[in-house]
Amino acid sequence: MINELYKQRLSAKSVIRELSEYATARGAEIGYENVFDYSLGNPSVPCVDGYTKAVIHLHETLSPMELHGYSPSLGNTKVRGIVADSLKRRFGIPYETKHIFMTSGAAGAIAHAVRLVTKPGDDVLTFAPFFPEYLPYINDSGARLSVVPADTKDFQPNLDVFESMMTPNVQAVLINSPNNPSGVVYSEETLERLASILRKKQTEYGHDIFLISDEPYREIVFDGKEAPYPSRYYDNTISCYSFSKSLSLPGERIGYIAVNPKATDADILAVICGQISRGIGHNCPSSTAQLAVAEVIDEVSDISVYERNRNILYDELVRLGFTVVKPDGTFYILPRALEEDSIAFCNKAKNYDLILVPADNFGCPGYFRMAYCIDTEKVERSLEALRRFVQTEYSTR
């Protein structure tokens, strides 16, 4: 019989996807260039040239059996070594091949990580604002996700509330920095204090508590800064990475898990991921994509457009009187809506062809997300619509 659990979900459509579909439909009417579509986090800059060249070169030079044969179950061994070396070089953590497990993007990585360090019935905590897909990622594994409410002052994790929500049944904590949807980078101070609470609770409860660190935006940080690397602050960290955003390859589904070498059982966690794969039908990312990203392992697409867009939007939002935390990175911003009901707010915005996403599903009712991975020229043209929207709907005069 058809599984009713999944069937019932069909009635609860994804808000982001609905808005994106609306934007496409509206674009068919008035020209998509006239729809200010801030709905989707699909990178708007090309992948680095080296990736394209690597794919073509691989197809021209390797035998098809070598290129398209089965990967070993933990991923191409040479590629895992290249990933380990790159991380070691960049973050000073002595990763080796055995700590790396290749995955189909961050979604694949988190699907493995949660099954690796929890069993059905265990609790996982995350911090609002959070990526709504964490709910199926965690809950469908049998664990249960609870959300620490947002500290809207600066969107750093609310660690006081977090500490009060910890119980012996919490086996994992899931974080995302740079953060979707706020764009905020968790500070060193935040990560140090989070680690210290986790260490204390590990001792108190007498069991490991793992930190699952979701890092697809790791390289997309502005003002010449770098995001503190969570695994440097806490040994029991499983880093989940995707090349989707840094290399603009979301369709290729390529990423990895990196196990901190000091984590409990660090030497076998990637091997256990191979066992988890068997049950969820994962079986490695594309062999070609693995080899090709290895050729450009330390490169990043030209992400300057995201910083430019951030600056333009942030300045205008402040000018228009929005309460808004300045993003440190990603291509998202999370302003407070101008009325309490952010769904109503975003619905009204549609009349100005502004596609904004209410952040209720991100754990931040009253706020809305703008994904500014679009052309700067369009961001600039959208400002007039934004001004008209605010002045017409929310002017006190």
Interface with a second copy in residues 224-243 (CB under 8 A): none
Which of these ranges, 227-235, 285-293, 303-311, 387-395, lies near a second copy under the rule CB under 8 A? 285-293
In the chain, where does DSSP find H-type helix? 4-9, 15-30, 49-61, 64-68, 77-91, 105-117, 134-139, 159-165, 188-205, 266-280, 287-295, 304-319, 342-350, 376-394
Which of these ranges, 2-10, 77-85, 193-201, 217-225, lies near a second copy under the rule CB under 8 A? 2-10
Residues written for the chain: 397
The distance of closest approach from Cβ of residue 147 to a second copy in the complex, given in angstroms and rounded to an integer, is 17
When binding is defined by CB under 8 A, the residue of 28, 32, 33, 52 that contacts a second copy is: 52
The distance of closest approach from Cβ of residue 165 to a second copy in the complex, given in angstroms and rounded to an integer, is 18
Which of these ranges, 80-88, 269-277, 307-315, 355-363, lies near a second copy under the rule CB under 8 A? 269-277
Look at the block and give the residue holding tokens 């596609």: 355
> Could you say whether residue 284 binds a second copy (CB under 8 A)?
yes
Exposure b/e, 101-130, CB count within 10 A at least 16 = b: bbbbbbbbbbbbbbbbbbeeebbbbbbbbb
| Site pattern 307..336 for a second copy (x: CB under 8 A) | ------------------------------
When binding is defined by CB under 8 A, the residue of 36, 127, 131, 137 that contacts a second copy is: 137
Interaction residues for a second copy, span 87-106 (CB under 8 A): 103-105
> Could you say whether residue 293 binds a second copy (CB under 8 A)?
no
Nearest Cα to Cα of residue 285 among 315, 250, 256: 256
Count CB atoms within 10 A of the CB of residue 297: 17
Which of these ranges, 66-74, 91-99, 148-156, 331-339, lies near a second copy under the rule CB under 8 A? 66-74
> Could you say whether residue 121 binds a second copy (CB under 8 A)?
no
> Could you say whether residue 110 binds a second copy (CB under 8 A)?
yes
Cis upstream peptide for 94 (omega within 30°): no
Which of these ranges, 81-89, 156-164, 213-221, 283-291, lies near a second copy under the rule CB under 8 A? 283-291
> Could you say whether residue 344 binds a second copy (CB under 8 A)?
no
Size of the site for a second copy (CB under 8 A): 83
> Could you say whether residue 24 binds a second copy (CB under 8 A)?
no
Give the 3-state DSSP-derived string for 17-40, with helices as H, strands as E and coil as C: HHHHHHHHHHHHHHCHHHCEECCC
> Could you say whether residue 79 binds a second copy (CB under 8 A)?
no
Nearest-5° angle of CA 231, CA 46, CA 249? Answer: 50
Which of these ranges, 150-158, 262-270, 314-322, 380-388, lies near a second copy under the rule CB under 8 A? 262-270
The distance of closest approach from Cβ of residue 228 to a second copy in the complex, given in angstroms and rounded to an integer, is 26
The DSSP annotation for 220-235 comes to: -B-TT-----GGGT-S
> Could you say whether residue 55 binds a second copy (CB under 8 A)?
yes
The DSSP annotation for 318-334 comes to: HHTT---PPPSBTTEE-
**Both tokens of residue 34?**
């006239």
Nearest Cα to Cα of residue 393 among 357, 348, 355, 350: 348
Interaction residues for a second copy, span 142-171 (CB under 8 A): 171
According to DSSP, the β-strands at 100-103 and 36-37 are: unpaired
> Could you say whether residue 282 binds a second copy (CB under 8 A)?
yes
